[in-house]
Amino acid sequence: MSRRVHAFNDDALGDLDAVGVAAAVSAGDITAVQAVEAAIARIEQVEGVLNGLVVGDFDRALSQAGRPTADRRDGGTLRGVPTLVKDNTDVFGLPTRHGSLAVPAEPARADAAFTTQLRSTGVVVMGKSTMPEFGFNATTEFEHLPPTRNPWDTDYSSGASSGGAAALVASGAVPLAHANDGGGSIRIPAAACGLVGLKPTRDRVAQAAEAASMPVDIVSNGVVTRSVRDTAAFLAGAEAHRAAPGLPHVGYVEGPSSRRLRVGLLIDSLTGPPDEQTRDAVLSTATLLEELGHEVVEIDLPVVERFKDAFAHYWSLLAFSTQRFGKRLFHPEFDASATDPLTQFLAGRFLRNAWRTPAAVHTLKRSERVYQEKFAAAGIDVALSPVLGHVTPPLGHISPTVPFPEMFERLLTYVSYTPLHNACGAPGMSLPLATSTEGLPIGVHLSALHGDERTLLEAAYELEAARPFARIQD
């Protein structure tokens, strides 16, 4: 039986977003320990239904929260805020299994570079969140484990690959959580679960560990949140820890700008038009932007025609590399026979088309120049589009147990907009600006030129104020 699940109540976290929690801790209204205790209780309340947690680290989180520095006013934009790290990023003492039974559950010997950067904002890490195997799917479903469910309706997908993070943030269990994005994996679950999801510019924050081995670095770390200001606070805190080399400074964006933008409207993707509800959500947002004084013009896709095939091939290359070199990349006892059907299908797909690799890599690398040239030719500041090809599907629609290649074709149709920004490295952002007839959130996408997260955040603040995001607790 489908139902909505959330954990909002009158405890120390209340209805507060992450900035609100940090302010309450700094003001002495609550302590960091009380915030973590409330988050533990909330996770335990919803986890039996949502399945968003891989492993908890509650005792260590309480210990960290109890240190004198945890309640200090200085030293982090998100001081004392409980959070989770995705299961593909190392946290000292916790296993990193990448959502796969093929990777042994051995505790990490150190924090990943991004985990260190995340901790610098003052958050308290409470454990690891779920993801589909190696992040290859757009739903957090598994062959042999229960799926991660959408708290807005538990019959539906929470998106992926940061599906556990999105489910637990949307349900109110934690105010924000780590996510990362190699083909839409911040923005897709944000769209499915009614959250703000910003994929930063390539190299804006610390790289994922696997980036060094990729011919094209498509992965960006970030967070999923319930408010624009939480995303802005995270980015400001991350930037204070590590200034991005070669990119303009963003700073702490605290509200909209008076600057009026020229917005490029993009409806259709390389796989075709979106469904009617998604199209209506984007057109409604375009109308809202015009009412706010911005200029909206239609634009062509800022991408070459063969991009879809190139990215699908690269996707397959990553799966093949996982299968073939898993012992080197992940763990000496990696078991390739234990990977799920999607990973195996993609790896086999690569072997049949390996000769296409040089052209595919060239196309993806060229996408950065094409994207920038088309932005310049249209004279636009930001682009407006769908996040996904259709509204959030029910569980099972793109499960790894669906027969191939039917499942993969469904996946390509669904994830038809977001991969561009991973290949070209530009920032992209999902905002929960509409609701489907089934009562599920619909995300709308904004993207900008490299290094221009400030413009995205300013526009997002203005849209959030003009059309407040639906709240699951209402």
Q: Does 71 score more than 70 pLDDT? A: no
Which of the listed CATH numbers 3.40.710.10, 3.30.70.360, 3.40.50.300, 3.90.1300.10 matches domain 18-466? 3.90.1300.10
- Please return the burial class of 367, using the count of CB atoms within 10 Å of its CB with bins 0-12, 13-18 and 19+: buried
Percent of the chain with pLDDT over 90: 94
**Tell me, what's the pLDDT at 2?**
61
Q: Does 96 score more than 50 pLDDT? A: yes
Q: Does 67 score more than 90 pLDDT? A: no
220 has catalytic annotation: no
Give the separation between CA 25 and CA 337, rounded to whole angstroms.
48
Whether a cis peptide bond, with omega within 30° of 0, leads into 332 is: no
**Tell me, what's the pLDDT at 136?**
98
Residue given tokens 């593909």 in the structure block: 88
Average pLDDT of the chain is 96
According to DSSP, residue 103 is labeled S
Q: Does 239 score more than 70 pLDDT? A: yes
Q: Does 263 score more than 80 pLDDT? A: yes
Q: Which residues touch 392 (CB under 8 Å, ≥6 apart)? A: 150, 156, 157, 159, 191, 192, 436, 440, 441, 442
Looking from the CA of 63 toward its CB, the CA atoms found within 13 Å total 4
CB 405 within 8 A of CB 348: no
**pLDDT tens per residue across span 245-258:** 999 999 999 999 99
**Tell me, what's the pLDDT at 120?**
96
End-to-end CA distance of the chain: give it in Å, rounded.
20
Q: Does 73 score more than 80 pLDDT? A: no
Give the separation between CA 273 and CA 328, rounded to whole angstroms.
41
308 has catalytic annotation: no
**pLDDT tens per residue across span 145-185:** 999 999 999 999 999 999 999 999 999 999 999 999 999 99
**Tell me, what's the pLDDT at 208?**
85
Looking at 129, 161, 171, 436, which residue is catalytic? 161
374 has catalytic annotation: no
* Domain ranges (residues) in the chain: 18-466
**Tell me, what's the pLDDT at 1?**
46
pTM across the whole model: 0.97
Residue at 94: amino acid letter: L
**Residue 461 CA to chain centroid, in angstroms?**
19
CA distances 282 to 32, 264, 340, 409, 434, Å, are 39, 12, 35, 24, 9
Average pLDDT over residues 406-426: 97
Beta strands in 113-261 (DSSP E): 124-129, 149-150, 153-157, 176-181, 196-199, 220-225
**pLDDT tens per residue across span 74-92:** 558 999 999 999 999 999 9
Q: Does 110 score more than 50 pLDDT? A: yes
**Residue 383 CA to chain centroid, in angstroms?**
19
Looking at 129, 162, 171, 185, which residue is catalytic? 185
**pLDDT tens per residue across span 336-361:** 999 999 999 999 999 999 999 999 99
Average pLDDT over residues 352-379: 96
Radius of gyration of the CA atoms of the chain, in A: 20
Q: Does 382 score more than 60 pLDDT? A: yes
Q: How many CB atoms lie within 10 A of CB 446?
A: 26
